[in-house]
Amino acid sequence: MASINLIEAFQEFKDAENIDRPTMMKVVEDVFKTLLRKKYGSDENFDVIVNAEKGDLEIIRRRMIVEDGQVEDPLAQIGYSDATKIEPDFEVGEELYQEIDLYDFGRRAILAAKQTLASRISDLKKNVLAKKYGDRINEIISAEVYQVWKKEILLLDEEGNELILPKSEQIPQDYFKKGENIRAIVKKVDMKNNSPVIILSRTAPEFLAKLLEIEVPEIFDGLIVIKKIVRDPGERAKVAVESYDDRIDPVGACVGMKGSRIHGIVRELKNENIDVINWTSNTQLLIQRSLTPAKITSMELDNEGKHASVYLKPDQVSLAIGRRGVNIKLACELTGYELDVYRDAEDEVAEFDVDLEEFSDEIEAWVIDELKRVGCDTGRSVLALSAEELERRTDLEKETIADVRKVLQEEFQKE
């Protein structure tokens, strides 16, 4: 048998759809030239011809016909008598082309070639996968949950490639089941045991940036630019945007009519509060905007030390700090300044407090409204009243008041 059908002989070819034909042909050629070198000591006088379309392989041996007894290099020359045994019409000085039967190499050599070929194809597929996702870093992709583990989730893309979403790259409120489709960005491609590991992320600022790009055409078109994003995933995010067109309000465009554009993103990010602010090179104004939703009254700035003392009215302090200090932490990250918050009326650091609205995920809205009705706007203002006093002044039941006080006490104990 002078040729062999590669598609049948080497099943690995069927899995190599992403590898281009010329690369595949070069790999096959290299594998069989290695086989020739092992058997004959050299591959110089052999041509390996691969028909990628049909999957056929031919190995042709070239030798010059010389007079009997004048063969100096058996690999490159053949005696006249031996040549005429192959074809009686040959003459001295002609070149003899002879097909090599693959089975002449022996069963063991063919098996070794098959294993080498499978290994080379596997490496090629890994390289193709690493390049594919290496070129898609920070792009949003959609993949199906295949397996959920404690520390990570295994996903499969549309081609069946495995992707990893570590616990550290998931939003704390994320909960996924097998078969569910989720969106994330490609964070990086690691190499582990010579195999590419594609790491996804839902907590990276770039994920929020890409979601905004999808929802806001002006960002996609380059009319609005995202200058900086800082996030506490699942809790709060601050996005500084700037417009290159004076006719476009960047904040309004990002939020949309009645919040239509931002609502979809908030849902995707598990109700993460997103503050969109106008970027400015004026540091004082940027700090003021970054502390949204709080309103400041005055500020002392130290540009050299990257430090600012911010003064607010007592009822604005809890808004500026935010629950667990998230709001002021993100403001510091966004501006690059260390911010200290003070009560406006007193020259002392404000006692940590939290607006009741920050507890909306643990305390029902109607309960918060009832507490506000009696003048309790912050956590500490509620705790300042006894359970009996709260029961007397509000329409809340004893059990509800106990639950509210427990939630608030746990919050301040953390701090």
Within a domain: residue 120? yes
Same domain, yes or no, for 128 and 7?
A: yes
Instruction: Tell me, yes or no, whether 7 and 91 share the same domain.
Output: yes
- Do 148 and 136 contact (CB within 8 A), yes or no? no
Residue 162's closest CA among 170, 174, 153, 172? 153
Partners of 225 in the beta sheet? 242
Give the count of domains, the chain: 3
Q: Tell how many helices (H) and how many strands (E) occur in the chain.
A: 15, 16
Q: Is 3 helix (H, G, I), strand (E, B) or coil?
A: strand
Q: 203, 218, 252 — which closes off a domain?
A: 203
Domain boundary among 132, 154, 184: 132
Instruction: Give the domain range for residue 126.
Output: 3-132
Tokens standing for 247? 């006719």
Asked which of 203, 223, 245 is the last residue of a domain, the reply is 203
**Using CA atoms, how far apart are residues 328 and 290, in angstroms rounded to an integer?**
8
pLDDT tens track, the chain, 415 positions: 334 444 444 444 544 455 666 777 777 778 778 878 887 777 787 877 776 565 567 788 788 888 887 777 777 788 877 788 777 877 787 888 877 777 677 777 777 777 777 777 777 778 888 888 999 999 999 999 999 999 999 999 988 889 999 999 999 999 999 999 999 999 999 988 888 999 999 999 999 999 999 999 999 999 999 999 999 999 999 999 999 888 899 999 999 898 899 999 999 999 999 999 999 999 999 999 999 889 898 888 888 889 999 999 888 888 899 888 999 999 999 999 999 998 875 544 446 678 888 888 788 888 888 888 877 888 888 888 888 888 888 888 889 999 999 888 888 776 5
Residues 109 and 25 in one domain: yes
Residue 217 falls inside a structural domain: no
- Which is it for the CA torsion 210, 215, 220, 222, positive or negative? negative
* Same domain membership, residue 77 and residue 49: yes
Cβ contact 397:408 at 8 Å:
no
Would you call 232 helix, strand, or coil by DSSP?
Answer: strand
Write down the pTM of the prediction: 0.65
Q: Are residues 105 and 167 in the same domain?
A: no
pLDDT at 54: 59
Omega cis (within 30) before 250: no
- Which CATH number do you get for residue 124? 3.30.1480.10
Which tokens hold the place of 155?
């996903």
Same domain, 47 and 165: no
CA distance 329 to 312: 17
Contact 279, 238 (CB under 8 A): no
Let me know whether 128 and 18 are in one domain. Answer: yes
* Residue 349 within any structural domain of the chain: no
Give a yes or no: residue 145 inside a domain: yes
Question: What's residue 52's pLDDT?
Answer: 57
- CA pair distance 344, 90, nearest whole angstrom: 108
**Residue at 239 is within a domain:** no
Are residues 122 and 7 both part of a single domain? Answer: yes
Gap between the Cα atoms of 91 and 79, Å rounded: 10
